[in-house]
Amino acid sequence: MIKQFTFTLPDEPYVQTTANNNTVNCTYNGPKWLCFAVENGTNKVRNLELTAETEEGLMMEHQIEDGHYHIAVEAKDHPLIAAYFTHSYTHEEIEDISETLTDADGDTFTFEYHYDDNGVIGQVCYNDSVTWVPGTETFTGPIHREHANSREETMKQFVVQADSLEENLNSPDTDYTDEDDAALRAHVVWLRSIPTKYADIPHWKIPLPVELPTLQ
């Protein structure tokens, strides 16, 4: 079956707010009926068990799984959920993000983010983030992704990188050219400057150097 629906993008990559109401026109083109396994107690939708063109084709009487109950839903009533689980959908082209930012030193740089040509729902939403609401026979989710690493974790990693690189440069076992040594030591300085230089910049937007000398 074919069903048009809209999907709301997050306000920007790796945030969960949708105040800007950035919607994308999508088209579901997949099975008419879907059977889901739902976890007892939490009502988390764990699996898409079976699809069919008729409700009878789901053979609900045979859907038995320990710790779960099963629901039959029609895709036309829940096209976003159907698209999320079956991946049987297309969407309009989404303009990529190109944002000019200024750090604490007054230096400008560009943050770029590419939206997939197909499958944007999976790109910006967590897997396994849909819940069934029995009282209203509706779903909540899927939930927009946050960045995989917290700012604190990322800052700690920059410190580790700086310490490791400095140790490498000072080792008697390495012998860099003056040019490579200078470039790598400048990188150490930059790594240590990150918490201040990018204090007001989301950590996933911090620009990483494209090229560095090969480490020994």
pLDDT at 64: 82
- Non-local (6+) Cβ contacts of 88 within 8 A are 28, 29, 30, 31, 82
**In the prediction, which pLDDT does 172 show?**
92
Whether the bond into 209 is cis, omega within 30 of 0: no
Instruction: For residue 164, give Cα distances in angstroms to 35, 59, 150, 157, 192.
Output: 52, 59, 21, 10, 12
Q: Cβ neighbours of residue 140 under 8 Å, at least 6 residues apart?
A: 130, 131, 133
Of 3-17, 54-68, 178-192, 194-208, which range is least confident? Answer: 54-68
* Mean pLDDT for all residues in the chain: 95
Cβ atoms of 124 and 113 closer than 8 Å:
no
**Torsion from C-alpha of 179, 182, 186, 192, nearest 10 degrees:** 140
pLDDT digits (tens, 9 = 90+) for 67-124: 999 999 999 999 999 999 999 999 999 999 999 999 999 999 999 999 999 899 999 9
User: What is the Rg, in whole angstroms, of the alpha carbon atoms belonging to the chain?
Assistant: 24
| Assigned token pair, 177 | 């050219």
How many C-beta atoms surround the C-beta of residue 66 within 10 A? 5
Q: What is the pLDDT of residue 124?
A: 97
Tokens of 62: 């045979």
Would you place residue 198 in the very low, low, confident or very high pLDDT band (cuts 50, 70, 90)?
very high
pLDDT at position 60, please?
82
- 107 phi/psi in degrees, rounded to 5: -80, 140
Mean pLDDT to the nearest integer, 181-187: 94
pTM: 0.86
Task: State which amino acid sits at residue 84.
Answer: Y
State both tokens at 182.
Answer: 């200078």
| Contacts of residue 18, Cβ cutoff 8 Å, sequence gap at least 6 | 8, 9, 10, 11, 144
Instruction: Please give the pLDDT value at position 210.
Output: 75
| Residue 63 banded pLDDT, cuts 50, 70, 90 | confident
**Model pLDDT, residue 152:** 96
Strand, helix or coil for residue 7: strand
The per-residue pLDDT for 192 is 97
Structure tokens at 36: 């889901």
